[in-house]
């Protein structure tokens, strides 16, 4: 029976307020559990306007109908509108996910800053970013975070070094094909190795699930609270039903990580590449 984990990234205030409850309802109706990687700090999504100067990013925004998915208000946060806090503004929602048996993990402090400007951030700013994120998680949950998944699957050597200092059991920061160990810090990486709806559409995701249903690798489906929890909630529910029909066993990401023997996995350095459907290179 193939394993499938749902890695739900929560990037925005609206995603936390509306998308997370939407996904939770879909999962509860099927008795399924997921892993929610939560941004805790300010939603500065409006700063993405600076990326519109990049043709690939502009094409992606048009192709995915980003304003329709995320809302015009989100598109103004951090510029014309004050940036609201995300996870810190909804502590009861975070704790409710945990009480329901879902995994919660760290995704970001300032998502937009990391995704667009990581490579220009000094090491001291990267360290401060991690400290704020982890402190927010601990303040909301009363627990230390066990995992970190980078915004936009963007990492560099300095951020891998910083992540090593927080005792995470595993990372989920890449789009590699299979789990491996980062050579830079010796940490287990459990990648998002399926395409997401924003990249391939519902049919593309389903085709990948069918193709890999009889392979040996665990499959990690990247999900976004702002997409599958809102405009694509019905399609997401249907996709889960079809995955269950294919024989997939849906598990939390931490369960898959615990089942892996790091000593038997390949060790390799951080690699960057551009994958279909994404506008900028990410860790692969």
pLDDT higher than threshold 70 for residue 50: no
List pLDDT tens digits, range 201-247. 999 999 999 999 988 899 999 999 999 999 999 999 999 999 999 99
Which is nearest to 12 in space by CA: 107, 123, 137? Answer: 107
What is residue 75's predicted lDDT score, i.e. its pLDDT? Answer: 78
pTM metric for this prediction: 0.92
What is residue 188's predicted lDDT score, i.e. its pLDDT? Answer: 98
Question: Could you tell me if 24 and 119 are in contact, meaning their C-beta atoms sit under 8 angstroms apart?
Answer: no
List pLDDT tens digits, range 108-142. 999 999 999 999 999 999 999 999 999 999 999 99
Distance of alpha carbon 216 from alpha carbon 52, whole angstroms:
40
**Tell me, what DSSP letter sits at residue 35?**
E
Q: How confident is the model at residue 107 (pLDDT cuts 50, 70, 90)?
A: very high
Domain ranges in the chain are 3-283
Distance of alpha carbon 17 from alpha carbon 158, whole angstroms:
32
Which is nearest to 9 in space by CA: 179, 148, 176, 156? Answer: 148
The per-residue pLDDT of the chain, averaged, comes to: 93
What is residue 52's predicted lDDT score, i.e. its pLDDT? Answer: 46
Q: How many helices (H) and strands (E) does the chain have?
A: 11, 12
What is residue 72's predicted lDDT score, i.e. its pLDDT? Answer: 67
Q: Is 284 exposed, middle or buried (0-12, 13-18, 19+ CB in 10 A)?
A: middle
Paired tokens of 116: 């667009």
Q: Given this structure, which CATH class describes domain 3-283? A: alpha beta
Which is nearest to 9 in space by CA: 212, 253, 273, 179? Answer: 253
What is residue 62's predicted lDDT score, i.e. its pLDDT? Answer: 46
Distance of alpha carbon 42 from alpha carbon 255, whole angstroms:
30
9 C-beta neighbours (distance < 10 Å), count: 29
Distance of alpha carbon 137 from alpha carbon 142, whole angstroms:
8
């Amino acid at each position: 029976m193939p394993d499938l984990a749902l890695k739900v990234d929560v990037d925005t205030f609206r995603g936390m307020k509306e998308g997370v409850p939407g996904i939770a309802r879909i999962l509860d109706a099927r008795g399924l559990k997921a892993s929610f990687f939560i941004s805790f700090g300010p939603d500065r999504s409006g700063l993405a306007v600076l990326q519109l100067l990049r043709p690939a990013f502009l094409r992606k925004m048009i192709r995915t109908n980003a304003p329709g998915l995320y809302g015009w208000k989100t598109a103004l946060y951090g510029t014309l509108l004050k940036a609201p806090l995300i996870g810190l503004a909804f502590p009861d929602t975070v704790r409710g996910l945990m009480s329901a048996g879902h995994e919660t993990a760290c995704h970001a402090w300032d998502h937009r800053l990391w995704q667009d400007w990581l490579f220009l951030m000094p090491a001291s700013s990267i360290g401060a970013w991690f400290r704020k994120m982890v402190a927010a998680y601990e303040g909301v949950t009363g627990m230390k975070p066990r995992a970190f998944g980078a915004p936009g699957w963007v990492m560099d050597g300095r951020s891998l070094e910083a992540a090593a200092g927080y005792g995470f059991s595993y990372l989920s920061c890449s789009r590699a094909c299979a789990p491996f160990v980062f050579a830079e810090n010796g940490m287990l990486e459990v990648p998002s190795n399926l395409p997401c709806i924003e990249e391939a559409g519902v049919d593309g995701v389903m085709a990948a699930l069918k193709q890999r249903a009889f392979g040996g690798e665990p499959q990690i489906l990247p999900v976004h609270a702002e997409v599958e929890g809102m405009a694509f909630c019905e399609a997401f529910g249907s996709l889960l039903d079809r995955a269950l029909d294919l024989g997939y066993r849906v598990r939390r990401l931490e369960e898959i990580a615990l089942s892996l023997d790091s000593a038997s996995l390949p060790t390799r350095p951080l690699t960057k590449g551009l994958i279909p459907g994404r506008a900028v290179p990410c860790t692969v």
